[in-house]
């Protein structure tokens, strides 16, 4: 608690600092300037210029919201508004978000910081902001109708509380949630520890992103907000592979990745080539004795998971959701199985009549990636992305952790594809392959073994049994 004398002391310090930076008191009484981001690229971490120092995070295909200091209070300005988000090159979605992007900017503060967030509503309907996972006064919790009146279009509300515990959090509306979260309104929040924390490791690379899902028909721009389970775009920070940036790290870096889930299903997030431990959730740091090694961790709906590992194996390591339909991009629903059907000639003709027509491949789904068929505007192939050895046949929730010895500290630009040392890549066998005859498959065999046809006797239940 500040005493009255402390307050005057602070005010005079602040006044001095302000005079130096020529910001008037009138300006500080007004709303903090609105900062907008239009690029969907991963922005460099925001190094704190004021307040307690910390090691900032990297928001995957996102950015961090700058703040201003006002008498020791960190002031942020979030603007809820319609945005156009490029989900991948060639595909844009009309979403709702904050400050020009969906998800909104990451908010980073330090444990003990007093935070004031101005929220301006430029949406066509009311909203609110819930600070998921925070300890705060009940009236700052952002639940429309329960803890506050909703923020009407054109209005600005102020939230103010102290960031009491360190960890990884999110923010999202608690007003017409079905619409507002299905259309991209969400953002990440990190509270860094004030001092060295016994359960919180210092890391070299610290990434954060949110899992989201949309239902956007090929050729359309707006998500269908009525969809409950049948989404067709599975994204990280509203980006789909190959639109998701790679996570570039230096060999032996200690890496933390913070993942929050605001979709309507769980996502088992999987890394190749390394093991990690879950070091924290939105409930706080996991005590060391309670951690165990994993290569996949399930991030359930409304949860945050912080995973950590030492990146000590060089290479391009796949990092993705393990639900195979979540590493694919938009496809029409109710697609018939076309395996075994040669449709190459028909597809072109059908496409002229029905622009949104897409077919499943005739051998499997892999030939979808090869783009034999013209696609409608504003969609990208279901499985795509080119690697150094060919098509990756992945979309959606997929990226690559690039571990390199040569990555300079502080310089984390994409190093390009991994150059494998000689003799360390799977290769084609050059010798003879025996051509032993195999049982030809036919309708009466299973697994190649002939099976006698079974005669099945059905005993009908009898009304006048012996019981």
Where are any strands of DSSP class E within 378-458? 384-387, 390-394, 398-404, 445-446, 449-450
At its nearest, how many Å lie between Cu ion and the CB of residue 269? 8
At its nearest, how many Å lie between Cu ion and the CB of residue 308? 21
- Binding characters for Cu ion, 206-245, by CB under 5 A (x = yes): ----------------------------------------
At its nearest, how many Å lie between Cu ion and the CB of residue 296? 11
**Which range in 295-303, 313-321, 409-417, 455-463 contacts Cu ion by CB under 5 A?**
313-321
Where are any strands of DSSP class E within 328-457? 384-387, 390-394, 398-404, 445-446, 449-450
Distance between start and end Cα atoms, the chain: 81
Instruction: Choose between 94 and 322: whose C-beta lies nearer to Cu ion.
Output: 322
**Which range in 12-20, 179-187, 315-323, 336-344 contacts Cu ion by CB under 5 A?**
315-323
At its nearest, how many Å lie between Cu ion and the CB of residue 25? 50
Bridge partners for 69 per DSSP: 74
CA-nearest of 97, 41, 99, 39 to 65 is 99
What is the C-alpha to C-alpha distance for residues 386 and 404, in angstroms, rounded to an integer?
Answer: 20
- Binding characters for Cu ion, 257-276, by CB under 5 A (x = yes): ----------x---------
What is the C-alpha to C-alpha distance for residues 11 and 5, in angstroms, rounded to an integer?
Answer: 10
Binding footprint of Cu ion, residue count (CB under 5 A): 4
Instruction: Choose between 78 and 392: whose C-beta lies nearer to Cu ion.
Output: 392
Bridge partners for 285 per DSSP: 280
**Which range in 51-59, 152-160, 177-185, 325-333 contacts Cu ion by CB under 5 A?**
325-333
**Which range in 48-56, 77-85, 319-327, 387-395 contacts Cu ion by CB under 5 A?**
319-327
For residue 320, state whether it binds Cu ion (rule: CB under 5 A): no
Residues 6+ apart with CB under 8 A from 105: 35, 37, 59, 62, 63, 64, 65, 78, 98, 99, 187
**Which range in 3-11, 42-50, 323-331, 438-446 contacts Cu ion by CB under 5 A?**
323-331
**Which range in 238-246, 304-312, 321-329, 384-392 contacts Cu ion by CB under 5 A?**
321-329
Specify whether the CB–CB gap between 184 and 96 falls below 8 A. yes
> Which tokens is 460 given?
């009908």
Examine residue 446 and say whether the peptide bond preceding it is cis (omega within 30 degrees of 0).
no
Query: Exposed/middle/buried for 104, CB within 10 Å: 0-12, 13-18, 19+?
Result: buried
Among 326, 331, 383, 395, the residue binding Cu ion under the rule CB under 5 A is 326
At its nearest, how many Å lie between Cu ion and the CB of residue 103? 17
Instruction: Choose between 76 and 231: whose C-beta lies nearer to Cu ion.
Output: 231
At its nearest, how many Å lie between Cu ion and the CB of residue 63? 24
> Which tokens is 32 given?
């903090």
Instruction: Choose between 315 and 385: whose C-beta lies nearer to Cu ion.
Output: 385
At its nearest, how many Å lie between Cu ion and the CB of residue 291? 23
CA-nearest of 158, 261, 148, 146 to 213 is 261
**DSSP-based three-state secondary structure for 412:** coil
**Which range in 21-29, 148-156, 324-332, 378-386 contacts Cu ion by CB under 5 A?**
324-332
At its nearest, how many Å lie between Cu ion and the CB of residue 231? 10
For residue 192, state whether it binds Cu ion (rule: CB under 5 A): no
Examine residue 103 and say whether the peptide bond preceding it is cis (omega within 30 degrees of 0).
yes
For residue 305, state whether it binds Cu ion (rule: CB under 5 A): no
- Binding characters for Cu ion, 24-43, by CB under 5 A (x = yes): --------------------
**DSSP-based three-state secondary structure for 437:** coil
CA-nearest of 58, 154, 157, 150 to 116 is 157
Among 91, 259, 321, 330, the residue binding Cu ion under the rule CB under 5 A is 321
Among 43, 323, 338, 355, the residue binding Cu ion under the rule CB under 5 A is 323
Interacting residues toward Cu ion by CB under 5 A: 267, 321, 323, 326
């Amino acid at each position: 608690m500040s005493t009255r004398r402390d307050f005057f002391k602070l005010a005079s310090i602040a006044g001095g600092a302000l005079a130096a930076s020529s910001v008037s008191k009138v300006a500080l009484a007004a709303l903090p300037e609105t900062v907008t981001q239009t690029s969907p690229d991963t922005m460099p971490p925001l190094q704190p210029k004021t307040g307690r120092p910390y090691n900032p995070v990297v928001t995957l295909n996102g950015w961090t919201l700058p703040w201003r200091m006002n008498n020791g209070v960190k002031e942020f300005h979030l603007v809820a508004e319609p945005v156009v988000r490029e989900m991948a090159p060639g595909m844009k979605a009309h979403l709702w978000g904050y400050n020009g992007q969906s998800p909104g900017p990451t908010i980073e503060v330090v444990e003990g910081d007093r935070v004031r967030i101005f929220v301006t509503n430029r949406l066509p309907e009311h909203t609110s902001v819930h600070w998921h996972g925070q300890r705060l006064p009940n009236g700052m919790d952002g639940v429309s109708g329960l803890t506050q009146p909703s923020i009407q279009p054109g209005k600005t509300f102020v939230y103010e509380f102290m960031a009491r515990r360190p960890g990884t959090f999110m923010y999202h509306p608690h007003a017409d949630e079905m619409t507002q979260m299905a259309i991209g309104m969400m953002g990440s929040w990190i509270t860094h520890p004030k001092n060295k924390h016994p359960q919180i490791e210092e890391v070299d690379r610290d990434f954060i992103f949110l899992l989201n899902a949309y239902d956007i028909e090929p050729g359309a721009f707006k998500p269908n907000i009525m969809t409950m389970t049948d989404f067709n775009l599975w994204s990280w920070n509203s980006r789909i592979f190959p639109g998701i940036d790679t996570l570039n790290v230096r060999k032996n870096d200690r890496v933390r990745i913070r993942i929050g889930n605001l979709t309507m299903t769980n996502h088992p997030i999987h890394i190749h080539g390394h093991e990690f431990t879950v070091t924290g959730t939105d409930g706080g740091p996991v005590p060391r004795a309670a951690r165990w090694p994993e290569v996949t961790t399930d991030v359930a709906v409304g949860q945050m998971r912080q995973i950590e590992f030492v990146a000590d194996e060089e290479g391009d390591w796949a990092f993705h959701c393990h639900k195979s339909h979540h590493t694919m991009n938009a496809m029409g629903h109710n697609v018939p199985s076309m395996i075994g059907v040669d449709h190459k000639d028909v597809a072109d003709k059908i496409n002229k009549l029905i622009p949104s027509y897409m077919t499943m491949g005739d051998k499997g789904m892999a030939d979808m990636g090869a783009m034999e068929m013209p696609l409608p505007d504003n969609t990208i192939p279901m499985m795509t992305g080119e690697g150094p050895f060919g098509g990756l046949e992945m979309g959606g929730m997929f990226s690559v952790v690039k571990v390199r010895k040569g990555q300079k500290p502080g310089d984390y630009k994409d190093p390009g594809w991994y150059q494998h040392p000689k003799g360390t890549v799977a290769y084609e066998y050059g010798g003879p392959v025996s051509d032993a005859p195999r049982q030809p498959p036919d309708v009466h065999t299973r697994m190649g073994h002939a099976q006698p046809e079974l005669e099945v006797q059905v005993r009908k239940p009898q009304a006048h049994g012996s019981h």
